Structure formats: structure tokens, C-alpha cells
């Protein structure tokens, strides 16, 4: 079981923020949870809305770059980029790396409801993956 997990994405405003929010609820006691991006741009308001719908308040989370993360503590990095894995930021050092290819809901276009549905789809996939990650890591 990792001691510290970093959810990493290009912007740290959407997918990694959702993952951090769910992980703070689902991670076993003692596991530190962080999110960061290589180009942080703030917490997306659509993200806040769909996470609130799911019962997770991420309003106090901040969009952070890697310089704000205690990198020496991290032993698991999960990248959440929807593009090919080679476009996601890499993390040097002896860490276990996982890649979850999740499309960026910020690219959604259409009515407010269509955009929200795109964010909800990403949220639900992230929630399932976070749950599976911590459940499977705990099984013998």
C-alpha cells in the first residue's frame, strides 16, 4: 500500500482534483493524498458542481504545481491524462506509476447540461478507478 499518492495531470483543475477529492474519502487511514499539474489553472467550477452532486466538497482544494508537493514522500503517481500516455507528465524516481487515460471534460462543448454530463461521466469514471485502486491495493 502506498504511503503517499499523487494524482497528476496537465492542468490540475479537473481530473486530478476529482481524484484527490474521492481519494481523501476512500483512502485508508495514514495515506497522504495530493494532486498537482504541470500547468495549474485553478479549480474548475463545473468540477466543483459535479463533485458537490456526488457529496464531495472540493472547494477548499487548491490547484497546485509540482513545486508545491513534497515529492520526496510520494511513492505512487497516477496520471489522469486523456491523451496518449506519452503526453502525460512523467515523475522521476522510485515510484509506482499508474496511468488512467481519462478524457478532459474541459474540452466539452454544448449546452450547460451537455457539459455537465461530460463532467459527470469523467467524475464517475474517476470515482470508480479511485475506489478500485484502494480496494485492490488492500486485498492480499
Enumerate the active-site residues: 9, 81, 88
Scanning the chain, the segments in alpha helix (DSSP H) are 15-26, 45-53, 112-138
61: three-class secondary structure by DSSP: coil
CB 40 within 8 A of CB 67: no
**Helix %, strand %, coil % of the chain (to 5):** 45, 15, 40
- Compute CA 75 distance to the chain's CA centroid, rounded to the nearest angstrom: 16
Residue with cell 472547494: 59
- Compute CA 114 distance to the chain's CA centroid, rounded to the nearest angstrom: 22
Amino acid at each position: 500500500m502506498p504511503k503517499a499518492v499523487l494524482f497528476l495531470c496537465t492542468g490540475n483543475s479537473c481530473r486530478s482534483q476529482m481524484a484527490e477529492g474521492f481519494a481523501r474519502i476512500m483512502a485508508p487511514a495514514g495515506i497522504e493524498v495530493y494532486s498537482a499539474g504541470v500547468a495549474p489553472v485553478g479549480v474548475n467550477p463545473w468540477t466543483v458542481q459535479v463533485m458537490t452532486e456526488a457529496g464531495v466538497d472540493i472547494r477548499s482544494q487548491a490547484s497546485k504545481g509540482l513545486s508545491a508537493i513534497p515529492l520526496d514522500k510520494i511513492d505512487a503517481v497516477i496520471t489522469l491524462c486523456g491523451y496518449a500516455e506519452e503526453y502525460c507528465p512523467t515523475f522521476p524516481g522510485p515510484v509506482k506509476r499508474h496511468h488512467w487515460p481519462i478524457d478532459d471534460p474541459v474540452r466539452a462543448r454544448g449546452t450547460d447540461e451537455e457539459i455537465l454530463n461530460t463532467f459527470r461521466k469523467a467524475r464517475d469514471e474517476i470515482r470508480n478507478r479511485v475506489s478500485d485502486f484502494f480496494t485492490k491495493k488492500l486485498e492480499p
